[in-house]
Structure 1
């Protein structure tokens, strides 16, 4: 019987945390399995271990694992999806997770502009919609200083409006949007500017978005 990566992840990812290793090495082994399988379920088992009775996991090892994979020049969909739906949508963990994967380093990203740091910043900003606005706004404001991040900042603002758990403050978001150097034909730019100027916080005001789409 041929097993898929997802089959293997469901069968074995949780077993990593039963291995006769110290916790830090268990976390490193779990991330190694993630590299091998590239399956979101491995990140679920990492999070389960973090919130278990034996948790939390060593923060420096946990977040270093995320940062390394966000910075790598390879697909990171499982990692970004994990951040989005598990860490960022949970108000108990969003602030810490966002700080660890980008917020604490945004000044360095803008100053150094290395490809690895830009990879990480772009991936985090794109999935940052659910992060509470007061947590992410300082990072967004700093990122405005780097034109290479303007397109993903726009995606972050758009997700902050449209995500089910998206969060933004309309006036502040509009002020940031107006500082972005974007092509005039950027999809949804006009709609987002319109709803923010009208004071709408999220997609729960669907008529506002539809109104500008029809105009």
Structure 2
């Protein structure tokens, strides 16, 4: 399905006079100027949502463009188009495509970065986004344990630091039932402490941390245990706490 979406995006760009060459991209308007994928994304991704297509097809085309260009800016244009009110994109299609890319056996950095800095850091959207990309499915992930579902779960957990603790705690606890997800839960807990907008409850996070089946010499494990035991919620809310933990654990 992703390959079909990518080819549809390639055809759409060709219709805009943009084609791929060995070293990048060129447009009919300036055939001697080689463009990067990032430049193409900034110049044309937003135009997808001006096409005479229904909203679902616009979303499909935009994600095809993301597959083709692999540029974070495409996700920005998707989010801009989902600005709210009557203009909002169809949620089932939007989040369905996020889930597909998170499950795919290919690099997903643009998608996870989009979740982290846009959808998850905004408390107006983080609960919905987290629930859609993982929270609703965590029981199925644990029950089925397919590689695709596990891949999605790991990616979401590791970038979920900014999501409110009350939103993600149950998902973390459910993920703990599967040792294959323990390292990703640790990544989520670590990000929940270190991210500027990270959120956790120290006592509850410490309980989860104590149950993780990960190597005792895991980098930052001892320091995270130290700061949580001291009741610290966030690196930026407790200046110096992490440095003190490093000194205490060295």
TM range (shorter): over 0.9
For the pair 1:42 / 2:42, whether they are aligned, the reply is no
Aligned to 1:145: 177
Bigger RCO (CA 8 Å, 6+ sep): 1
Shift of 1:54: 5.3
Tell me the TM-score normalised to structure 1 length.
0.98
How many residues in Structure 1 have an aligned counterpart in Structure 2? 215
Pick the aligned partner of 2:120 from 88, 94, 103.
88
Aligned to 2:247: 214
Shift of 1:97: 0.2
Aligned to 1:29: 61
Shift of 1:55: 1.7
Q: How does 1:150-161 map to 2 (within 5 A)?
A: 150-161=182-193
Pick the aligned partner of 2:139 from 107, 112, 137.
107
For the pair 1:173 / 2:174, whether they are aligned, the reply is no
Aligned to 2:20: none
Gaps of 5+ in 2: 1-32
Larger Rg: 2
Aligned to 2:47: 15
Shift of 1:53: 6.3
CA distance in 2, matches of 1:24, 1:195: 46
Is the partner of 1:148 in helix, strand or coil?
Answer: helix
Gaps of 5+ in 1: none
Is the partner of 2:61 in helix, strand or coil?
Answer: helix
Aligned to 1:6: 38
CA distance in 1, matches of 2:244, 2:117: 30
Question: Deviation per CA, 1:8-59, whole angstroms, max 9, x where unpaired?
Answer: 0011100000111111000000000000000000000000000066521000
For the pair 1:127 / 2:159, whether they are aligned, the reply is yes
- Runs of 4+ aligned structure 1 residues displaced above 6 Å come to none
Q: CA RMSD in A?
A: 0.9
Shift of 1:116: 0.5
